[in-house]
């Protein structure tokens, strides 16, 4: 029952994130074909360059072992939704979702902050001092910009609401692995 609830929560979070961006349907169902498998065409190294900001969906920027160590629960391989969102469901039922956006601009950062605010519906993102180039969070979500990469982490600190020690540790682990 708890896993079913978590999967439903992930689907709703994904739908909200995508509808806030204008890129997805408003259905609470995961997109067709969201199996966790990523094709070679979808997977690209974080260091690759493209003309516009793009999401990294190889999900290899943090391992299940690293995530398990930070979260204090066991996490298996992630599922990928809409070729954008990597979602790990823990043994405790908590689903952590991460979107990594490469080649981000100042406009991309503002778009991500607007999406975080819409996702959480609990106020404007507050700055998180001392975390990479820029960082802000609200509710259960933080966004971190490191160079031209933006890391969006949801549910890392459930129920964090204003304090994000686990999400910050996840962001730092991802940043350490960026090239």
What is the mean pLDDT of the segment spanning 108-119? Answer: 93
Write down the pLDDT at residue 90.
Answer: 95
Q: Is the pLDDT of residue 101 over 90?
A: yes
Coil vs helix vs strand at 117: helix
* Topology, domain 2-34+53-177: Protein Transport Mog1p; Chain A (3.40.1000)
Beta bridge pairs of residue 37: none
Separation of alpha carbons 93 and 86, rounded Å: 16
What is the mean pLDDT of the segment spanning 26-31? Answer: 33
Question: Residues 33-63: pLDDT tens digits?
Answer: 333 333 333 333 333 333 356 555 679 999 9
DSSP code string of 52-111: S-EEE-S-TTS-HHHHHHHHTS-B---EEETTTEEEEEBTTS-EEEEEEEES--HHHHHH
Of residues 133 and 120, the one with the higher pLDDT is: 133
Q: Within 13 Å, how many C-alpha atoms sit on residue 17's CB side? A: 27
User: Residue 9: which residues within 8 A CB-CB, separation 6 or more?
Assistant: 95
Write down the pLDDT at residue 83.
Answer: 85
Parallel, antiparallel or unpaired: strands 141-146 and 126-127: unpaired
């Amino acid at each position: 029952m708890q896993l079913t609830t978590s999967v439903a929560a992930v689907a709703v979070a994904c739908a909200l994130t995508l509808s806030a961006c204008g890129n997805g349907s408003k259905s609470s169902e995961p997109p067709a074909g969201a199996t966790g498998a990523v094709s070679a065409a979808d997977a690209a190294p974080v260091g690759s360059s493209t003309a516009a900001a793009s999401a990294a969906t190889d999900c290899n920027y943090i391992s299940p072992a690293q995530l398990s160590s930070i979260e204090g629960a066991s996490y298996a391989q992630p599922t990928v939704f809409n070729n954008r969102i990597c979602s790990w469901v823990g043994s405790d039922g908590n689903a952590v979702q991460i979107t990594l956006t490469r080649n981000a601009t100042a406009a991309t950062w503002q778009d991500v902050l607007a999406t975080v605010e819409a996702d959480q519906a609990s106020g404007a993102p507050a700055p998180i001092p001392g975390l990479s180039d820029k960082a802000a969070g609200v509710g259960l979500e933080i966004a971190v910009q490191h160079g031209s990469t933006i890391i969006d982490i949801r549910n890392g600190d459930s129920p964090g609401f204003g304090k994000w020690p686990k999400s910050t540790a996840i962001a730092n682990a991802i940043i350490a692995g960026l090239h």
